[in-house]
Structure 1
Amino acid sequence: MVRATGKSEAVYERLKGDIESLRLRPGAKLSEVQLGEELGASRTPVREAIRRLAREGLVDFVPGEVARVASISLGGVRALFEFRMLLEPEATASVATSGTARDHVLVPFRELLEQLEEFDTSFRALGAAEQERDYQGFYDLTESFDQAVIAACRNPYLARTIRDLRSQTVRLRHLSHSGPRRMLTSLEEHRAMLKAITQGDAQAASAACRHHLAQTLRALIDSLTAHDFLLGADVQVGMAG
């Protein structure tokens, strides 16, 4: 039940979380009436939340139908990562450069590197079944890294553009890290980025970021095809709710 205060914000956060985590699948219908009943909210805050999510690209409006969770297409994923590869390596390099002149910039990245080492050690000690349940700790680490880069990026326009893409990238994270092996590989990629940043090596930071994005894109394509999501060159992925 959504509380009376801040209902629109609460409905938005709930729906956004469900979409990003894939609890609401791509293509799922979003009925204002049904959602209102489930969340204990009137149609107005539900409608406002859906429109807000549509502006972020997480919801599509289909003429003559209710809103649906935005579909995922191979072409869309590739386009997104092409754009990210233009932005994020530059931002990562910018942070590494800033750290050479302003040491306090590097503090959160040093802390994240320590946390990553601790998580890596504990994760490798788990059994396969336990590893499958320990994804949230990994997601928290990578989210903290992404947010730290955004916060430390010297170019406010670059930082804002990367931030605006977060909803799309978070949703795809659950597809790109589809198993413990990919998670461990991604940990190595984040370790490389963090080490380059903390050492003030802008070129290495940029290269490590570009490599991470390329590997993530490859994992995403593998995940989409492995789950029979991909039916053609640019066929939308989704299950109607």
Structure 2
Amino acid sequence: MARATGKSEAVYERLKSDIESLRLRPGAKLSEVQLSEELGASRTPVREAIRRLARDGLVDFVPGEVARVAAISLGGVRALFEFRMLLEPRAAASVATAGTGDERVLVPFRGLLERLEEFDASFRALDAAEQVRSYQEFYEVTEGFDQAVIAACRNPYLARTIRDLRGQTVRLRHLSHSGPRRMLTSLEEHRAMLKAITQGDAQAAEAACRHHLAQTLQALIDSLTSHDLALGVGVQVDIAG
């Protein structure tokens, strides 16, 4: 039983990574038989992994069909960000406040700020092709920031809710950073959030986080409505949503 559970976890992490990175496109079919062959696993851990991904909101079950990677719709993105704007600015403010009473809280954020400054200097020196190839490094910094906020947030319910939304938000990251210009804008937004937190300025941290989410939402809307975006049948551009 323990071995099956471990295999299910490995399959889950692999499929989750493929969905978040868009290697598995929105709307893609998830055949238990095909995935079992590709991943070298029996159908049981594959089935368990797909069910977990469905609970994460990353997989949809269509009656009469196999499971599919959940679609990305404009209405769904707006709803997600409306919820995130209620949660994440409050969490950022609480972390900044906690840091004024406990310097240990600020250690990871200071490290991330230093790493961000180093990335900024190297990124601007690259040509366009090299900049695109360096996106993953920036994703690692932003993921580190998000995880640091979750870890430092003193409200466990708030932290858990934000963590539970990570699968959705990580998948959209690849759409929101649609080019070097947006990358640099996002970098400035993360710099503002990190500086506010490390300075213990809760009001500025909350405002910077809200601004970042608003800008990210607009970038996603631009990507989802762009004729250059080819994400297949799983993207539903429902402007009224």
Question: What's the CA shift string for 1:87-122, capped at 9, x where partnerless?
Answer: 000000000001111111001101110000000000
Alignment partner, residue 101 of structure 2: 101
Map 1:87-98 onto structure 2 (within 5 A). Answer: 87-98=87-98
Amino acid at match of 2:173: R
TM-score (norm 2): 0.94
TM-score (norm 1): 0.94
* Residues 231, 102 of structure 1: alpha-carbon distance in 2 compared, 3 angstrom cutoff: closer
Between the aligned partners of 1:234 and 1:56, the Cα distance in structure 2 is 25
Between the aligned partners of 2:124 and 2:149, the Cα distance in structure 1 is 27
Question: What's the CA shift string for 1:54-88, capped at 9, x where partnerless?
Answer: 01100000000000000011110000000000000
Alignment partner, residue 49 of structure 1: 49
Between the aligned partners of 2:42 and 2:237, the Cα distance in structure 1 is 38
Between the aligned partners of 2:113 and 2:41, the Cα distance in structure 1 is 42
Amino acid at match of 1:233: I
SS in structure 1 at match of 2:60: strand
Alignment partner, residue 31 of structure 1: 31
**Could you list the runs of 4 or more consecutive aligned residues of structure 1 that deviate by over 4 angstroms after TM superposition?**
228-231
Q: Given that residues 75 and 238 in structure 2 are in contact (C-alpha distance below 8 angstroms), is that contact kept between their aligned partners in structure 1?
A: no
Matched positions, count: 233
Amino acid at match of 2:168: Q
Alignment partner, residue 239 of structure 1: none
Alignment partner, residue 116 of structure 2: 116
Question: What's the CA shift string for 1:187-221, capped at 9, x where partnerless?
Answer: 00000000000111000000000000000000000
The unaligned stretches of length 5 or more in structure 1 are 236-241
Please say if 1:18 is aligned against 2:18: yes
Deviation of 1:47 after TM superposition, in Å, equals 0.4
The unaligned stretches of length 5 or more in structure 2 are none
Alignment partner, residue 195 of structure 1: 195
CA RMSD of aligned residues (A): 1.5
Between the aligned partners of 1:231 and 1:113, the Cα distance in structure 2 is 36
